[in-house]
Amino acid sequence: MTRAQCSVEKEVDMRRRSTKKAAGRKKLTVDGRTQLRKLAAAEHRVPIGKKFVHKRSTDSSSSTHRCSNPIEQWICSIAELGVRGIRKEFVHEVKGFVPIGAQSAWEDDKNFDKNRYEDIRLLDKTRVVIKKSPDNDDYIHASYVQVDNDITYICAQGPLPNTVQNFWIMIIQEQSKVILQLCQSIENGKQQSAEYFPTESPLTKDYGAVRIKVMEKPNTVVGLKKVIRTKIQATYSGTTHEVLHILYAGWPDHCVADSPAVCKEVRSLVHKNYEKKPIVVHCSAGIGRTGTFVAMEMAISKLKHKEIISICDLVKTLREQRMGAIQNDQQYLFVFRMVIEVLMGDDLLTKDLQVINFIKEYEDVIQRKKQERMRRTAKT
């Protein structure tokens, strides 16, 4: 072999080794920096979950017919992505997404003790500004989120003892007809929300300058486990306003709701009573359970208006209004599950094999996560 041939052989061998070394790697750009990440196929760690494989038809015409409208296209896309892919999508595309925008009110020292958590920030451009308070305090940790022309949500943190007055002033100011509470006041020994209306006699109580009167005692909604409704009257500065309070106590922190079917009925109850006024929804931080519920609403609204959707892009749009909305991949996955539940309930989606398989994959993941939490709790 000549020296030239030897040189060529060496170069080919080096390229082959280089190609092998780079196999299973993908170039990604994050915040302007180029990084190398392992592809899912090359990973040897324990997978997030089993891959739900959607078998494509080789007949392109039948595929087009099967996915002929936005709802069918969306179902085809999630079957293609699978439960494992959806969870990975959150980790790689959504989790680190932070919107650009001023947060001067949140950063103001005078508002520090009005924030339940130090790391849950608030955008100036979408924050609810209290217009008339006794001490000219315009701050509350709450954000407007536009769903469509008819539906606006106000995503709020669970009130603190020192913010209950402004919480009620916000309700009156926005003329909200529904408050949806997605947490219990105390969970696992920790306060998630201050109690902001009396639950025992006498059923009238003053919270600062706001007088609250319970018009109808809390009662469990027939057929809906862990759903309690209360009719409340709030009076402030000569204005009296009535609002329906709905407590859904079947949704643990950082997790998904116990029952998609009950959650669907909670949504229906909200829609029956909101009268096209801003709907106030809160959990503890106002981003996890709250963000998940509102993301579901955004997706359903777009699909019903025959718009093609990407849940990933939709959640980013949500975060541009309520920072940090949806905290983990399970909540992200629950958005998909709830959209399916509502569409089936409204006869807009057939429970075919794709849907059945997806629900089964979802339930397997959630059950496994529940067992993991129980084991961790048992150790502590």
How do residues 214-236 score in pLDDT, each as one tens digit? 999 899 998 898 999 999 999 99
The full DSSP string for 288-343 is SHHHHHHHHHHHHHHHHTT----HHHHHHHHHTTSTT-S-SHHHHHHHHHHHHHHH
The whole-number pLDDT of residue 373 equals 77
Strand partners, 206: 211
Q: Calculate mean pLDDT across residues 73-77.
A: 95
The whole-number pLDDT of residue 46 equals 36
Asked whether residue 22 carries a pLDDT value surpassing 60, the answer given is no
Give 308 or 38, the one with higher predicted confidence. Answer: 308
The whole-number pLDDT of residue 378 equals 76
**Can you tell me the distance from the alpha carbon of 261 to that of 151, in angstroms, rounded to the nearest whole number?**
22
Asked whether residue 10 carries a pLDDT value surpassing 70, the answer given is no
Least confident of 57-61, 278-282, 358-362, 366-370: 57-61
Q: In percent, how much of the chain has pLDDT > 70?
A: 82
Q: What is the chain's mean pLDDT, rounded?
A: 86
Asked whether residue 24 carries a pLDDT value surpassing 80, the answer given is no
SS3 145: strand
Whether 76 is catalytic: no
How is the chain split into domains, by residue range?
A: 77-378
Looking at residue 128, what DSSP letter applies? Answer: P
The whole-number pLDDT of residue 35 equals 34
Give 256 or 60, the one with higher predicted confidence. Answer: 256
Least confident of 72-76, 96-100, 252-256, 272-276: 252-256
Give 34 or 324, the one with higher predicted confidence. Answer: 324
The whole-number pLDDT of residue 371 equals 85
Instruction: Confirm if 358 and 340 have CB atoms less than 8 A apart.
Output: yes
Neighbours of 211 (CB within 10 A): 15
Give 7 or 12, the one with higher predicted confidence. Answer: 7
Asked whether residue 190 carries a pLDDT value surpassing 50, the answer given is yes
pLDDT range class, residue 66, cuts 50, 70, 90: low
Q: Calculate mean pLDDT across residues 124-133.
A: 97
The whole-number pLDDT of residue 372 equals 83
The whole-number pLDDT of residue 380 equals 67
Residue 276's nearest CA partner among 147, 109, 363 is 147
**Can you tell me the distance from the alpha carbon of 261 to that of 59, in angstroms, rounded to the nearest whole number?**
36
Q: Give me the CATH topology for the region 77-378.
A: Protein-Tyrosine Phosphatase; Chain A (3.90.190)
**Can you tell me the distance from the alpha carbon of 20 to that of 22, in angstroms, rounded to the nearest whole number?**
5
**Can you tell me the distance from the alpha carbon of 20 to that of 39, in angstroms, rounded to the nearest whole number?**
14
Least confident of 2-6, 72-76, 253-257, 359-363: 2-6
Q: Calculate mean pLDDT across residues 145-169.
A: 98
- The residue from 155, 183, 263, 283 that is catalytic is 283
Neighbours of 237 (CB within 10 A): 11
Q: Calculate mean pLDDT across residues 103-122.
A: 97
**Can you tell me the distance from the alpha carbon of 22 to that of 24, in angstroms, rounded to the nearest whole number?**
6
Q: Kindly report, residue by residue over 321-379, the tens digit of the pLDDT.
A: 999 999 999 999 999 999 999 999 999 999 999 999 999 999 999 999 888 878 877 77
123, with CB counted inside 10 A (0-12, 13-18, 19+), is buried
**Can you tell me the distance from the alpha carbon of 286 to that of 212, in angstroms, rounded to the nearest whole number?**
23
**Per-residue CA distances from 239 to 105, 198, 228, 236 (Å):** 27, 20, 26, 5
The whole-number pLDDT of residue 124 equals 98
Residue 87's nearest CA partner among 55, 53, 49, 54 is 49
